[in-house]
Each structure stands twice: as structure tokens, then as C-alpha cells.
Amino acid sequence: MERRCSPFSLAGLPLFLILTACQLQNFVAGFAVGEHPSHGVDRRVPALFVFGDSTVDPGNNNYWLTPLKGNFPPYGLSFPDHIATGRFSDGRLATDFMGIACLSSPSSYLGIKELTGVSFAFAGSGYDPMTAHNIGVVSVLQQLDYMREYLVRVENAVGKARAAEIMEDSIFTVSAGTNDFVITYNLIPFRKQTFTPEEYQQFILDQLRAFLKGLYALGARRFAFAGLPPMGCLPLVMTTNLGDAFIRRCIDSMNMVAISYNSKLQNMLNEMKGKELQDSKIAYVDIYTDTLDIIKHPNKYGFEVTNRGCCGTGLLELSFFCNHASPLCHDVSSYVFWDSIHPTQRTYSFIFNTSLEPALRPLLCSPFSLANAPLLFLLTLCQHHKLVSSFVVGNHGSYGEQRPVPAIFVFGDSTVDPGNNNYLPTPVKGNFPPYGFSFPDHIATGRLSDGKLATDFIASYLGIKELVPPYLDPALDERELLTGVSFAFAGSGYDPLTAGNIGVASVLQQLDYMKDCLARMEKLVGKARAAKIIEDSIFTVSAGTNDFVITYHLLPFRKKTFTPEGYQQFILQQLQFFLKELYELGARRIAFAGLPPLGCLPVVMTTDFGDAFIRRCIDSMNMAAASYNSKLRDMLNEMKEEELKDAKLAYLDIYTPTLDIVENPNKYGFEVTNRGCCGTGLLEMGILCNHKTPICPDVSSYVFWDSVHPTQRTYSLVANSLIQGASQMEGRSFSFPHALFLLLLLLVVCELPTLVLSSGAGEQFNHSVPALFVFGDSTVDPGNNNNWPTPFKGNFPPYGASFLNQAATGRFSDGKLTTDFIASYLGIKELVPPYMNPSLEQHEMMTGVSFAFAGSGYDPVTAHTSGVVSVPQQLDYLKECVTKMENAVGKAAAAKIMEDSIFVVSAGTNDFVISYHLLPFRKQTFTPQEYQQFILDQLRVFLKGLYELGARRIVFAGLPPLGCLPVVMTTSIADAWIRQCIDSLNTEALTYNSKLQNMLNEIKANELKDARLAYADIYFPLLDAIKNPSKYSFEETKKGCCGTGLLEMSFLCNPGTPTCPDVSSYVFWDAIHPTQKIYSLVANTVIQRRETPWLSKRKVLMATSSLSVLPHVYRRSSHGVFLLLLFLWQQQLLWSSAEATQLNHSLIDQLNISIPALFVFGDSTVDPGNNNYLPTAFKGNFPPYGLSFSNHIPSGRFTDGKLATDFLVSYLGIKELVPPYLDFTLGVHDLLTGVSFASAGSGYDPLTAQSTSVLPLNQQLNYMKDCLARMESAVGKARAAKIMEESIFLVSAGTNDFVISYFLFPLRRRTFNLEQYQLFIIDQLQVFIKGLYDLGARRILFAGLPPLGCLPIEMTINFANAILRQCIDSLNLVAVSYNSKLQHMLTKVKESELKDANIVYADIYEPLLDAIKNPNEYGFKQTNVGCCGTGLLEFGLLCNPNTLVCADPSTYVFWDAIHPTQRTYSLIADALIQRVLHLIL
């Protein structure tokens, strides 16, 4: 679970850097050894149990979903073989030395369990529940729950009496509290608002008292409580304290807090020992005194360095910031601290040996000490659970009736997939909230439920393990293989087509993983032992639902091949083959789950038209399941008796118990059975059930978690039913479909595959600037640092405050960067993505990425200091990117992309501000002038490297006015309070910029003559905004918007930091980086410079025309975007208002004569209700559709009112609305003035309409023939022909072809690559044109595709954009590419074949995209969700009378998740009237 963090007051102690608990508990005090009431002085110490935080956590965090881990190098450096165990040190902790003295070292409870003691401690924990909650670990009080669990297991193994003795004689050590004071009180504001410092100390002591009593109630009698360390002496605390960051001395105020608390703790423990817990031994462990003595007198102990850690700079590094790339000190033994918080092993050892060990040894090491637990105890605890092993079905020839069950292996679909899909490129995942809601800390493991699956309950019951892990987990311990794993994949089935549709492994393919697993097991334990494990293990298989629900009932292919009975037999044949293969691998105990009552799944009820509102089980689906289950049972019995006689095969009936729960919920304590807990419960599953989706108040009262999958409680009940009635065997699975029923919806795409760029893919980039590639530092880093082990990140609020939904992308600003504005202006993409994004798709590389890293520079020392990639090193990633491009499109196409693309480089600020002026090394080597030349030399080398890779258009940004950065003013003693720009630094920036320009001109003239090199001046635009703020509507220029604005940036500007009320009035967002508004102004200046050579001859990626160079008059305007639009308007890319008005008046005078009718063909965007009369689920003839019509009449139009064709026909003066042709009430006059033949869900591809049972385009043409015949009968052939000749024929289709038939169904992708499919659709369209022409049509208008990637439903079902709600560039590019081909084809047909026809292309892409991108200009407020329901997914029957709607549809671009509102249609119609109508006339 990702946690975000905030700084320590003004000094900014970052939460994510001190999450691992700053305590240095080294237990520097002894127990007072007294007499035991029953055993006398010599008492046995069987175990050491530890509670607390990172200083006593040996690795529990390794097994917890938190970034705070230490299980990677260089942690563990001093261990043999440098093993990183998870301890936050170079070696052992103080508790490990206690173990060496008397016991074995306590291991982590969540790792290997030990009899001689374990640690329940979690890094980042504390006594205050809020402390652990803030970072997603287990609080000290919650650690007691694990102790209770442990105690139960011991009692089961050795009996309650013996377990009580162990508890009584063991030592319980507790070390916590530092995180409470450092983080939760001083950092987070809530506790400070509630408690004074003294009250908070008492609050912590009260929590500690409750913990102690809880431990005492469990039987513990020997306690050691560590006090606080000298917190003010931690290197990290010194670093983040503004006054002591450079002086590096202990902070007295923090140490005083520790002293005060420790005194109160001692008093309380003495009081409790004397009054409440008299039969216990309670010790206070003073770690403050000896730790402080080591720090104050290091030579006395042989230390040299006390104020920084050994790892990295030692100032800030810890956890993932101290990694294998971090440099280490030469001699760790001379350092008190390992990282910026935690002591070295030598420090831990020293304090233990000098203070703790002598006091504890008499107590710990009595003659009767159990330093090594009795063998009997070990053996009994190792078998702490009942091992159920017998199958009732048949006898095993050699092993008798009862054998242990060493492992459980699982195959199947989403109901038994614990997270394998997490590691596949598929959208069908459950590794995000609210999935996992019922797990501790709500961890989303990848299970598609709120908690455990049935197989987890079975594995736990069998005593094997608590959870069955996914086989694909890269962190899977090899030993887990020996006790079983799951090979299941959500969305899988026995039919290969089922899994193939969504890109996962079929059940048969899962056998390949089993074979691989067996080979690994053989390497671990040998072939004989592995074979024995396989023979004795249980193999559970749960699949089939997806086969029947999706592959047979949803997709058309199997229905064409098989009858229902034939398909059942086909699935059983696949299952039989799987069973024999599994048997050949050595499996002998195999359980097959039958189908559940399919008709009772909420999503099935929803998508069944007759039951969508009634919400009852669908009998026909249940009957199909029952029929299949009967055949499965018979087949297993037959194989058991005839072919696999030595195997135990079991049929697991999950149909009966599940149906009983659904039909009799009160009997089981359920309340809701016909919808899921997540969201509406009607359709949500997978990415549609996400952290923004509301969930029910009581999940335990719901049978289903989402619209497909049961809740943990349901799984538990079904599992118990199988266990208790184990007439077959101990084990089961529960097969509900992972169910992609949303595939049944018209435009729902459950996966958006990567665009495969074939040999012709380069045509996508036929404009002159195909891509923008970026290098540099934080000013152009869109988020690469997110995926790099550095503390310099901006992927948490309030960064991104001006983005939609305040998404923190990793950009160090409130919104877009200059490079984003440039990329958008060039028509390439809206945002430049980071190259390091692991989910980056291939097509994104083709249009450009950023390789920039915040904190980088030309000087290698600069990047090294902040642990990132220098600008020269960023070239290595470009080389890697080029290789990927070559593999995708070929070397020639890749070279062309490189040649035509723009390369922007923005760096240097960090070099001068940090590496030269802050750090001493460069000043000792270079004068200011020499350092400038050094940087220019580095830049020259970089430029030549870029050129050699094929770059020819390269822009280098100069330095900004360095002296005007707020942080520079703050850190300058003279200007900290005056807040004036520092002239000396500005002069330095000007000097460097001048040299840079001269060097670029020289290289361009002499060395790289065929390259276009440009210098981008950012100095003067930024300085002008600072010096003349009112000119640009700024108010604040000397500090940032975030926090005080004096120092905050990166982790110091975090969710706990206040921000200014109006960011648009600030020049700077934080103490370093400009606001989005400034970046926009700088971008406009760069774009508008006439002499900029890299912008010449470019084409704007629009539907029409191109633009060469902007007029010089716009060069220095601060409103470049507006002027650009004005210029385009004047160039007739957009029509002027006067021209439009003139056109309107000239047309109105003649329209009733020249345009007798409007005939319409296409899909839902122009279907006024034809689907009302078809047997299809895709209808819109019920509320709230038609909401904006008078009387709110739902006509069948998929919107709240009129369609664009209705506005057009009204404008033409023909009629108010275009009626549907299939309306049986139509009269002759309706036919003569035009009708619509369109059918929602249709397309040019015949497969499109076939899959949705609607009218294909060729059938619509047949209806036109029928209509023409009726017209001829009414007015005669001549008059009918004249109407046909003069009427307008509008065709709007194609969206469903690409979204459904190509990207959803696999058949077309197997036959066509993307470009071939576009040409296939164009061919179908060409045939349609000729058919229409043959009927007499002469005025034909073809609408292009809309921006497909901006449909709300596409954003929802695209995993990367489901939360961010951004347009999907890849789909928009598909539309742009197709529209270009369509225009070319129409022109060709018009000029060569149909010369007397007027065939016109209607651009709907640009008007709709403009409304989405610039909503304020059109009065819209919401662009990425629809008005109906949540707006994320609803349309058709999901937008029904029970669905809530928005208050004002006119402020929404979209009515439902697919279709525009009436107001949007009106705008589209206006655009057609103004830009296209004159062409058709």
C-alpha cells in the first residue's frame, strides 16, 4: 500500500525518511533478578519475544506491503556473505546479541518461526495507533494480536499448561516511542492540535500501560521497556533541522523531550511493579545515557564519525535511499551510525557488552536455561495444526488410508488467483484498493475479493500455510514451492480462446508453470523427495465459468461451431486432457470444482435485459451449470474406475452451497445477495472497483464483493461446507467467473492492447515533428524520479494541484511543464511521459519521452550527489529507446523519427547552485569562469553523442535568473529577509548563457552543419515576470506557493504542507520550481520566436491544413495560445464568426428548396430509436434517457435529448427531429423528408453488428432501398429520384469497429495489423458509398472518428488512466490516422470514380476534442465522466430509472460513459454547419 509523507515542521523531517523508527534501543539496563514463586532463583529462559520498531525489527517489514524495507544491499554488509535480512543495520541488532548470550537470535514472526523467540516488531511502528497507521504497518498494540496467535499455536502443540510456563519464564522486550514523538507529534498536525507536549507524553504512557497489561494478561511476567534515545543526535534529525543542517550538532530540544519522557516512563514502571503487577519483573532499559556518551566521546569507544551515517552521504539516506548504488564509508566500524538513523552493528554490540549483557546474563543464563529448545517441543510445534490427509474415494495401494498433505497446488481462474495477474500485462487485476479490504491494513494482494479465497481457508485448515501464494511472484521464496502455490490466472478457462482473449494463461498452459515448478523443487530437495511431495499433495482445479459465460454466450465464434451440449463436451475433453497431463506429472489427489449457479452472479443479472431491474437469478444459466456439473461428475467417476485407478479424484460441489446461501441469506446472516458490495454492485469488478468507488458499510452482510466475486465470508462458508462434508477429500476451490461481462457492453474494452506497429507503422508519424525527446533536470522531469531510489520526488500532493483530480505525476510543479505545452502545441501529445515509467507503452516512445531526472546536471558530481542520472548518462537510456524503436518499426523508420523529432535539453542550474556554490569540491578545482567552460565542454560532448544517435533538431535551454529563485534568496544570509534577487548569481547565469549561444552557433557553423541547433532563452521571460508581475497578473514573486515558500521543495512540500489560496498569482510553485502558469508563458515565448529553426516546416496535427511559421507579430505576446487560435481562424482552419453568419443567411434563403430530406446511417450517435424495434440489449428507450426532452420522453436516442442530426435537420428547416425508419407509425411524409437507418452498436465491419445483434451497414442500405421503393410508390420514380439527388446523406460509424471488433475481439487482430484493419474498414466504406451512389445519392457526408481515447468509458477500463481520467493518446492516434486515410479515400473516389457526386468529410474529432480540452470556453465543467450514474461506465441498461443523474447535464460533455449530451451534439452540429455544409451544397 503506497503511503505518502510530509515534513518535520519547518525543518522538514520527512516522514518517508523516518518511517523506520529512529530509536536506538540498545537495552542498556538490567533486570532486578528476584525469586520466582515456584521455581526459585534459577529460572529457565526458554524464549525472547520482541516488540517495537525498526531497531528491533529483524525483517517483519519484508513480508508487509510497505516501502520501508532493509532487505537489499548494502544492508547486511557485515553479515557473512553480506546477506540483507531486513535488519536496518549493517549486521546484528541489540536483541540479536541478547540471543547470542543465551538464546538463538529472534527471527521475524512473519518470516521463519522459531521456538526460542521471535520479533513482532515492525519498522515505523509506535505506541500511538496513528504512527503505524500513517505508514501502513502494525502498531505496538496490534503486535499483541500476533502474540496471541502465536500463543494459540504453542498451546495446540504442547498444551495450555506448558505454554503458560513458557510465557511465564520468557523475556518480553519492548522498544518503541521515537516515531510517536518525531513523526506523529512533531510532524503531523493532528496530535499537536489535541495535546500539549506533556499531555502527549502521558497519552503515550497510557498506551504503553495498556500494552503492558495486555501482555501480562497473556501470561508474561518478565518485561524490559526501552526508553527513548537522544533523538536530537540522529544524523537525519540534524539534517532536517534548519539551524543545524550544516553545523551537525545534536538538537537539545529534542533530547530534552526524550529525557522528560524517560523519567516519566521509569516512574510509571516502578509504580506498576509495586502495585498492580507485583508478581512480575519489569525493567526500564536506559539507552539514552550510553548512546549519548558514545556520541559525545567517540574516541573513548574507538569511533570517529558520529554525526552522519556510513551509507551514502550519511545525511539523509535510509531504507530504499540506502541501496546498492549508494557509496559506503571505508570503515563501517569507525561510524556510530550505519545510515542516517540506525546504529552500526558495532554500536549495538558495544552498548550491549558494556551495559546490558552484564546485567542480563545472570537472569538469562541460569543452569537450567533452554538455550536450545527441547527436541520434543520443536517437533510438536512443527505439527501445530491438524494435518488432514485422507481421501475417502479409493485406497492408496502403498500408503494406507491416511497420509500427510505437504502442499496444495491450485489451477484455474480469478476465484483461485491470489495475484498472478499482478505480474502480467492485463487489465484484469485486483492489486489496488478496495480489494483486500478485510485483510490487515486493507492490503490488496491481487485477490479479487475483500480478503481470503476458499483455497486460502483450505490451506490454513490443512495446516500448510495461511495463504496460498501466486507462482509468478518474483519475491517468492523457493521454499514456498514445497508447500504449494497457485498457478491460476483471473480470466482463464479450459477453452484456449477464453484466456487468449485477455492475454493470460489457459488452464492447460498453467501446466507449463507446474512443470517449471517441479523442476525447481527437484533442484531443492532432489527428484525422489519432489515426487513424494507431488504424490501426497492436493491439486485443486477451479475453472469453466469464463468458458461458458464469455467465450460461448458472449463471443459469437463458439456458438457458430458448437451447440450448447457440444460445447460442454468440448470443455470436458479439454479438462480430461489436463487431468491426464497432471497425472503424468505425478499428481494423485486431484479435486475439480464444478460450476457455481452462474445465473445468480450480479453481473449476469445486470446484463440480462429481462432481469436487469428485477435482480433475480437467471434460470437458464443455472440449468446450464447444473447440466455441466452432472457430466463432469460422471466423467471423473469413469476415469477413476477405468484409467486412473491409483488416483483419488474428487468432484467439488460448489453449486449447491452457493445457491443455498443466495436463496436463504438469513440462514447464514447475509442481507444482500443480488449485487456486490463495491460500487453499485451491478457491474463493478477489476479496475471498475477502485479506490474511488464507494463500498457498502458492512461487507459481511453481502454474498458478493463485486459484481462477480464472492466476499471472504462467502468463501469461508463454502470452504467450511466442503471441509465438514468431506465425502471426497479435504480441499476445494470456488469457481466464480473473473467474468468480463462488461465485454457485452457496446463500447467497453476490457483490455487496450499495445498498438503493434507493423512495417507500415511509421506512417503514423508522417507529420514533420513526430516526437519530442527531453533531457535535463527537475524542470523537465515528468516523473522519472518516481522510479529511482532517490529522495527527490514530487509524486505526492500537493504537487499536481492544478491537474485534473490533483494527480501528482512526479512533475515538480502544480501542473504541466514547459515541454508538455510544447508537445501539445506540436500536436504530438498532451503530456510528455517519463521513460522510466514501467507501464510505458511502445507507441509512447514513438512520439517522445523524457529522460530527465530531477537533481541532475551536466556535471557528473551533481547527479551523483542526489543519486540520480546525469545528463550525459541519460544518453544511455536514449540508446536503449532507439533500439526498442528499431525493433518495433525497423531501423529506417526509427532513424527517420530521430531525424525529424525535436530534442529539448534543460539543465545546468543544479551544477552552478549546488555543485559549485554549495559543495566545496568544484570551487577548489575551478574558478567561476573555468567551471562555466567545464560545463560547456560536458554539454558539447553530450550534443555530439545526441547527434551520432541521429538527432538533428536540438534545443538547449539556458540558465534562468538563478539569483531570483526563492531558495537561493533564503540561503543567502544577506538576502534571506530582504528577499531580493542576488545580482551576482544572475550575472553568472547571463555570462554562461552568452557563452552557450556562441558555442552552439560555432558548432552549427563548423561541425554539425546539417543539424538545427537552437538556444532557448528562459532567462528573460522569467525575469520579466518577476520584475513586472502585474503585467502577467502575478502577485507573489519572491516565495513559492507551497508552505512558507522559502525553502520547501520535494518531500518538504508534502500533504501536510499548506499551500497558497491562488496558485495562478504565484511565479513559483515551491522554493525552486515555477508554477504551471509560468511554464506556459515560457513555452509560448519559445514557440512564438520566429527565428526558432526547429519549428520551421512543421505541421500541426489537426484534421485539416498545415501551418508553417507564425507571424512575427505574435512573437512577444503573453497570450500565445489565443493568438495561435486566432491565426488558425484567419487561415480558415476555423471559420470566423462573420463568415459563419454570412453562410447561415445565404443558406437559409434556399434550404427548403435545395435540401428536401436528410437520410442518416450509422451507429448510436445517430440512431434515434431503431434499436427499440430490434431484439437487442442495446436500447435507450427508458429514463433517464431523454431527460432534456419535454416531458422527459426517452425516444431511444442515447443521450438526454437531441442528436447532432436532429439539430442539423432543424437548421435545414426540414423537420425538428429525424425519425427512426423502423418506427411502424411513420407516414409517407416522414419518408420524403428523411429518416435514420442507424442502429446503435453497428459499424462498417459486418462482425461488429453481428456481435451486438443490431443492423449492419449493408442491412441499413437494404432498408434504404425499401424506403426508396415506398417513396416511388407515393410520388413516382422521377420525384423520388429528384429527392434522392438533392438530399443529404450522412453516415457516422467506425468507432465500434475499432473499439470492439479490433481491440476487443481477437479474430480481427489475428487477421489484420492495425493499418490493414483501417484499410479494410475503408474498403467496406467504399463499397457502401457506391451502393448509396447507385441508389441516386449525390450529396454524401461521412463523419470521421471522434477522439476515441477521450470517451469516459475508455479512460475507466484503461488501467493506467482509470484513476487519472486522462485521454488515451494511443486510441486518439488511431482515430487521427484513420481520419486521414478516410479523407484521402473520399477525395480519390470523388475525383476519379464519382465525379458528379459531392462527397465530403465531416470532422467531428477536433470540435469534440476542443470541448474536452477547453471546457471553460464552452461553459462545460465536467469532461471525463458522464452525467448518468458515476459516469465512469454506465450506458444503455446500466443508465436506468434507478440511476442517479447529475444536476445539470448542460455542464457535462458526456451524457453517459460513451455518448455526448444534447448540448455537445449541438456544438458538433454548429461546427458541421459552419465548416462543412457549404461544401456539401
Total residue length of the chain: 1481
Q: How far is it, in rounded angstroms, from Cα 167 to Cα 221?
A: 7
Cα–Cα distance for residue pair 687/1065, rounded to 1 Å: 38
Cell numbers of 767, please?
A: 507529420
| 839 catalytically annotated | no
Containing H/E element for 248? none
Please name which of 1234, 1224, 1250, 1244 lies closest in space to residue 1292, comparing C-alpha atoms.
1244
Which has the closest alpha carbon to 487: 408, 575, 599, 597?
408
First-residue to last-residue Cα distance in the chain: 61
What gap in Å lies between CA 672 and CA 665, rounded to an integer?
8
Closest CA to 1300 of 742, 790, 823, 783: 742
The radius of gyration of the chain from alpha carbons, rounded to an integer in Å, stands at 36
Count Cα neighbours of 364 within 13 Å in the Cβ-side half-sphere. 28
Please, are residues 536 and 400 in contact by the beta-carbon 8 Å criterion? Answer: no
**Local structure of 351: helix, strand or coil:** helix
Catalytic residue among 342, 709, 767, 1459: 1459
Which among 1164, 1195, 1380, 1466 is annotated as catalytic?
1164
> Which among 53, 1200, 1456, 1466 is annotated as catalytic?
1456
Question: Can you tell me whether residue 1091 is helix, strand or coil?
Answer: coil
Count CB atoms within 10 A of the CB of residue 1006: 8
Cα separation of 842 and 864, whole Å? 30
State the Cα–Cα distance between residues 1246 and 1293, nearest whole angstrom: 12
Q: What order do you get walking across the sheet with 222-226 strand by strand?
A: 107-108, 118-119, 48-52, 171-175, 222-226, 281-285
With both helix axes pointing from N to C terminus, report the angle between 1204-1211 and 1462-1475 in degrees, rounded to the nearest 10.
50
- Reading the block at residue 561, the C-alpha cell is 461451431
Closest CA to 170 of 266, 102, 270, 87: 102
* Dist. CA 97–CA 474, nearest whole Å: 32
Distance CA 656, CA 662 (A): 10
Distance between CA atoms of residues 514 and 494, nearest Å: 16
> What is the DSSP-derived secondary structure letter of residue 227?
-
Active-site annotation holds for 1456: yes
* CA distance linking residue 19 with residue 17, whole number of Å: 6
**CB-based contacts of 690: which residues, under 8 Å, 6+ apart?**
432, 433, 434, 1362, 1363
Helix/strand number for the chain, H first, E second? 55, 26
Q: Is the CB of residue 1197 less than 8 Å from the CB of residue 1189? A: no
* DSSP letter (8 states) at residue 572: H
* E strand segments, 646-747: 648-652, 672-676, 702-704
Whole-angstrom distance, CA of residue 630 vs CA of residue 565: 12
Q: In angstroms, rounded to a whole number, what is the distance separating the alpha carbons of residues 119 and 58?
A: 7
The answer to whether the Cα torsion of 892, 897, 900, 903 is positive or negative is: negative
The Cα 446–Cα 912 span in angstroms is 47
Among all chains, which residue has been given the C-alpha cell 533530547? Answer: 255
Helix 1314-1334 / helix 1369-1392 crossing angle, nearest 10 deg? 40
In angstroms, the CA 127 to CA 198 distance is 16
1164 has catalytic annotation:
yes
* Cell numbers linked to 264: 516519566
Active-site residue numbers? 1164, 1456, 1459
